[in-house]
Amino acid sequence: AQSVTQLGSHVSVSEGALVLLRCNYSSSVPPYLFWYVQYPNQGLQLLLKYTSAATLVKGINGFEAEFKKSETSFHLTKPSAHMSDAAEYFCAVSDKGYSTLTFGKGTMLLVSP
Amino acid sequence: KAGVTQTPRYLIKTRGQQVTLSCSPISGHRSVSWYQQTPGQGLQFLFEYFSETQRNKGNFPGRFSGRQFSNSRSEMNVSTLELGDSALYLCASSQTGSTDTQYFGPGTRLTVL
């Protein structure tokens, strides 16, 4: 069975600092990997997805993630945090295509001025 | 293009009742997936429908059921509600549910008293 582990339920950064949200996965087959963001009282918005085309994936709002098979990781980064990045971030994996996602528990990103 | 819409947005029920939630996918999308989000269990996949057929199912009891209509709109039903069914129920649609992006609706917040 596939699973996703997100290290840290809460991550705090200062505005302008590097954002690093960690995600490790387990999957018996080459996975599809995703990062979603959820703002309060809203649904999920796709930030980026890995589909084996390139190990470094660029997404929206300046976010990117690197797929490292040897470490089974797919960490999310952004060089400089903005106040508007404060939200909850979810890493997800699927080995049946995009419609059956297994999510991590989520990481709440807090950005202070 | 209108996004995924879910109705109602908020719902309060009592234990033992049943409830029906509705999801209208983006025009042209034929795959609809449902997820349950709770503070304790996080985001969990319920089921996926494609062309009026249930294609994938998560690990939920038979009290949770769904269907999809010929216009791709989907409903999910929960019978004999329990307190633990209180959650945000998210619907997501995609064109085929295979390798295309899933778009999420804002969710229906169900409270069981």
- B50-71: per-residue pLDDT in tens? 999 999 899 999 999 999 999 9
How far is A99 from chain B, CA to nearest CA, in Å? 5
Alpha carbon distance A30, A23 (integer Å)? 16
Mutate to test the interface with A, among B6, B36, B43 (most CBs of A within 10 A): B43
Q: What is the pLDDT of residue A32?
A: 87
Mean per-residue pLDDT pooled into runs of 10, chain A (113 residues):
90 97 85 91 90 87 93 96 97 77 94 96
Mean per-residue pLDDT pooled into runs of 10, chain B (113 residues):
92 97 96 94 93 92 97 97 97 83 92 97
Alpha carbon distance A99, A79 (integer Å)? 30
Q: What is the pLDDT of residue B82?
A: 97
CB neighbour list of residue A69: distance below 8 Å, 6 or more residues apart: none
Alpha carbon distance A108, A38 (integer Å)? 9
Where does residue A61 fall: left (phi above 0), alpha (psi -120 to 50 degrees), or beta otherwise? left
Q: What is the pLDDT of residue A51?
A: 81
Residues of B with CB below 8 A from A92's CB? 43
